[in-house]
Amino acid sequence: MKKPLIGISSCLLGNNVRYDGTHKKYNWVVDELSLYADFHPICPEMEMGLGVPRETVRLEKKEKDGPVQMVSNKNKTNLTQLAKDTANVLYESLPSHLDGFILKKDSPSCGPERVKIYYKDMPFEKGAGIFADHLLKKSLDYPIIHEGRLHNPELREDFIIRVWGHFNVHKLKAKISDIQNFHKKYKFVLLSFDEPSFRELGRISANNKNREPEEVLQLYQKTFMQALFQTRTRKKQANALQHIYGFLKNELKEKEKKNILKLIDRYKENNLPFVALATMMQHLIDISSNDYIKDQYYFFPYPEELELFLDL
Ligand code: SF4
């Protein structure tokens, strides 16, 4: 079965492409994520022809308000133009169906943020590496993250939801009933990111304006990814959970109803981890006779085996 495709800095996959012939293997990506996603590795510095081993490079400015340059640390070779040209070639050769990108943090080539920029041999300010900067300026509709942020369980889950969201929404065919069905399944995921976007997507998929299906699909895909780029908060999650509860309550006893509402409040007030509430809600969904709620993506809009919410 086809899997999402994620661009990635090659050293994170365990390839020995760093300046000293080592790697920066990210175990979770290699051992777990790779079971469910495919990767497109890139190494801008290898692509520049610098080889292994090579001189280390850094970003610097000659003038305080001058342009950022890439310079080799020992021989002081100015590699800026080569790095920019290579970034352009690498970008143009990326597969058109990427669903996300994982970049190596702090790298003068791959780091998307907070990479040191030197002035007169002292760290002066921070910015993006040359390849990352090129990628970030393209206003892509898939998520881009560095591996440092993947250590944070909430940011990791957000990234994975966006990757699978991008993958799933781009698998859709230009058929109105398919788009409506997709929208129905993603209801609670969308509510947990942004309720106004969920309602807007409902209007788009209803197609009251009688647009061509291809136009509806493109508008839906664009708005859907914009929705997933909103910030999830406990308040929004609690709102989605209350909606789910609304579909389950008729099958619950009074004591169970009170208990669930209390737990949702405790979660909203940051007094309960998500996993505790999610485990109970999932159990109730499993034993429910409500097919609509069983069919929802809410708890696992990605492969369940990744078990991401256990740390939330
Ligand atoms: S950080 Fe980027 S340029 Fe450096 S070794 Fe890794 S993939 Fe190559």
Q: Which of 116, 151, 186 is the C-terminal boundary of a domain?
A: 151
Same domain, 122 and 191: no
Say whether both 177 and 94 belong to one domain: no
| 221 Cβ inside 6 Å of ligand 1 | no
Cα 18 to ligand 1 centroid, rounded to whole Å: 6
Tens-place pLDDT, residues 123-133? 999 999 999 99
Is residue 164 situated within a structural domain? no
Q: Say if 162 falls within a structural domain.
A: no
Is pLDDT of 73 > 70?
yes
Select from 290, 216, 215, 213 the least CA-distant residue to 246: 290
Calculate how far, in angstroms, residue 154's C-alpha sits from the geometric centre of ligand 1.
Answer: 26
Whether ligand 1 lies within 6 angstroms of the CB of 219 is answered as no
User: In this structure, what token pair is assigned to residue 156?
Assistant: 């990791």
Q: Is the pLDDT of residue 195 over 90?
A: yes
Q: Are residues 78 and 200 in the same domain?
A: no
What value does the mean pLDDT take over residues 134-163?
96
Strands 57-61 and 115-119: what pairing? parallel
Residue 86 CB–ligand 1 contact under 6 Å: no
Range of the domain at 112: 5-151
Asked if residue 111 has pLDDT above 70, the reply is yes
Nearest residue to 185 (alpha-carbon basis) of 155, 160, 205, 158: 205
The beta-strand segments (E) located in the chain are: 5-9, 38-42, 57-61, 69-72, 100-103, 115-119, 122-127, 144-146
- Among 151, 183, 203, identify where a domain stops: 151
**Interval 274-303 mean pLDDT:** 90
Q: What is the pLDDT of residue 41?
A: 98
Whether 188 is in a domain gets the answer: yes
Residue 244 located in a structural domain? yes
Ligand 1 contact, 146 CB (< 6 A): no
Percent pLDDT > 70 in the chain is 99
Q: Is residue 270 part of a domain?
A: yes
Query: CB within 8 A of 219, min separation 6: which ones?
Result: 204, 211
Domains contained in the chain, number: 2
Mean of pLDDT values over 150-155: 94
Indicate the burial class of 67 (C-beta count within 10 angstroms; 0-12, 13-18, 19 or more). exposed
Same domain, 271 and 188: yes
With bands split at pLDDT 50, 70 and 90, how would you rate the model's confidence at 139? confident
Asked if the structure places residue 167 within a domain, the reply is: no
**Cα distances (angstroms) measured from residue 282 to each of 184, 273, 276, 295:** 18, 15, 10, 12
Regarding the beta carbon of 112 and ligand 1, being less than 6 Å apart is answered no
- Is 157 a domain residue? no
Shared-domain flag, residues 212 and 140: no
* CA of 30 relative to ligand 1 center, distance in Å: 16
Q: Are residues 136 and 196 in the same domain?
A: no
Residues 142 and 179 in one domain: no
Of 117, 151, 185, at which residue does a domain stop? 151
DSSP 28: I
The answer to the question of residue 28 being in a domain is yes
Same domain flag for 140 and 178 = no
Q: Same domain, yes or no, for 202 and 136?
A: no
Residues 95 and 225 in one domain: no
pLDDT digits (tens, 9 = 90+) for 168-184: 999 999 999 999 999 99
Q: Is the pLDDT of residue 312 over 80?
A: no
Above 70 in pLDDT, residue 311?
no
Q: Are 206 and 94 found together in one domain? A: no
Q: State the pLDDT confidence band at 1, using cuts at 50, 70 and 90.
A: low
Cα 15 to ligand 1 centre (Å): 10
Question: What is the mean predicted confidence (pLDDT) over 233-247?
Answer: 94
- Which tokens belong to 73? 């640390």
Q: Determine the atom of ligand 1 nearest the C-alpha atom of 110.
A: 2
pLDDT at position 119 over 90: yes
Q: Are residues 123 and 238 in the same domain?
A: no
